[in-house]
Structures are given as structure tokens and as C-alpha cells.
Amino acid sequence: MKTNQMTSFRGIATIGSFCLAAVLGAALLSPSMMVQASEGRIVPAPMQDETVGKGTETAIFAGGCFWGVQGVFQHVGGVISATSGYAGGAADTAKYETVSTGSTGHAEAVKIIYDPSKVTYGHLLQIYFSVVTDPTQLNQQGPDHGTQYRTAIFPTTAMQTTIAKAYIDQLQAAHVYGAPIVTRIESGKFYKAEAHHQDYLALHPTQAYIAVNDIPKVQDLKSMFPGDYRGQPVLVMN
């Protein structure tokens, strides 16, 4: 369910090709208008984490609109790729228009391929809970409402399940937030989203929805985790 004008801009932008300047007009913001108040906070690092290994690993996080989640992790050092998609539902309904009804069981999610020798799963979770999502909002993030915008973690290994559960318990016990954490640990396959949803933040940083809701998250990443911030994002559609 779309609840305000910014969210309606998001719906318009997904129609066909990117003719945002013509469609949105004044909805394109100048860089000076892009800085918004941020609610990000650095949360404690996980006490339990994966052992540094060789090769690559895969993490899947849902944290509201996948545009912003993908955009943040594309700027994290050690991340090889971050792809927008859908997780938690069936293959035949993993389409934006169907998922947007909130009836398919999917969450908008991002699949992250990363190098655990450069960034660990636990640290990705710390970034997720610090700058990507508000884990106290049930079935919504900011202006977006519906089960497809829930916060959820989809572990790809038994170790990730153990780390994620322990970390949520740790944050809950420390009363990091002023309300209970509702982020769920779920299972389900990941399905890549349509091409026009990939690299959306990188391609359209001044589009109104992105400027207000997502650019501040990238700025939080840069200020809170400067050692992890990569200025040039790793893109899907190269």
C-alpha cells in the first residue's frame, strides 16, 4: 500500500523505461536538497561471527524497498555484488506487480555476494541494523507499507542462521532500540528482480523517493563505517 506522494513516485518510476525527468518533473531534487534527517545509529558489533574463510559467501537481507538496501551494500567494501529481488515466496509470483499486492509471501530483498576475508557476515548484519533498516517497524519501512516491505533475514547456511539469531537476541537484550525487534529469520529462495529495478539508487540519486529515503542511508554508511565505505558502487548492470 502506498501511503504518500514519495511512494507514488516510486510506483511511477517502475513503468517501462527511465523517463523520470519527463514523468516526475519537479520530483527531481538538486543535490543541496538531498540531505535529510537520519535515524541511523551504530549498533554494537555481533559477539558471534563467522570464521574468516576463502572464496565467496552469499547473504540475503530484506529491509524495505530493495532500491535502498541494494544501494547501501553496493558501497560496502568486500561486497562483490548486490542484486535486488524477491525472497520468501514462489517462483511464479516473483514479479514486481504481483509482489506489490502483498499477497505472495515475498519480501523485497537483496542478495549479497561477498568476500568473507574482507567483510564478515556479522559485520554485514551490523551495517544492516545500523543504517539500512528500522527493525522495530512491522511490515513497513518508512513510507512503504505491506508484508513485502518487512525486515527479514534469509540465511544461506546453518552458521548464518546461528549468527543472525544470536545477534538479534544480543541487540534485544541490550535494549538498543526503544521497541522490540520484529525482524524475522526466514527461509526461501531468492528471485532476481526485473532489470529496471537494478542499480536504481546509483542511476537515479536525485529521484525524489531515493533522495529522501535512501541517500541518507548511504551517507550514514560513509559517516558511521568509513573504513567500509567504497565511493564507487559495484553495479549489477555493467
> For residue 237, what pLDDT is reported?
82
Q: Are 45 and 140 in contact (CB under 8 A)?
A: no
> For residue 12, what pLDDT is reported?
40
> For residue 54, what pLDDT is reported?
82
Whole-number Å distance between alpha carbons of 55 and 236: 20
> For residue 39, what pLDDT is reported?
62
> For residue 40, what pLDDT is reported?
74
For the question of residue 19 being annotated catalytic, the response is no
> For residue 52, what pLDDT is reported?
78
> For residue 49, what pLDDT is reported?
96
Could you tell me where the beta strands, DSSP code E, fall in 115-217?
140-141, 144-145, 151-153, 184-185, 190-192
Q: Are 69 and 132 in contact (CB under 8 A)?
A: yes
Whole-number Å distance between alpha carbons of 112 and 162: 18
pLDDT in tens, the chain (238 residues): 333 334 434 444 443 323 233 233 334 444 333 444 346 789 999 999 998 778 999 999 999 999 999 999 999 999 999 999 999 999 999 999 999 999 999 999 999 999 999 999 999 999 999 999 999 999 999 999 999 999 999 999 999 999 999 999 999 999 999 899 999 999 999 999 999 999 999 999 999 999 999 999 999 999 999 999 999 999 998 6
Count CB atoms within 10 A of the CB of residue 128. 26
Selected catalytic residue, list 65, 69, 112, 224 = 65
> For residue 13, what pLDDT is reported?
42
> For residue 36, what pLDDT is reported?
41
Q: Computed over its alpha carbons, how large is the radius of gyration of the chain?
A: 17
Whole-number Å distance between alpha carbons of 33 and 17: 25
pTM of the model: 0.86
Whole-number Å distance between alpha carbons of 199 and 47: 32
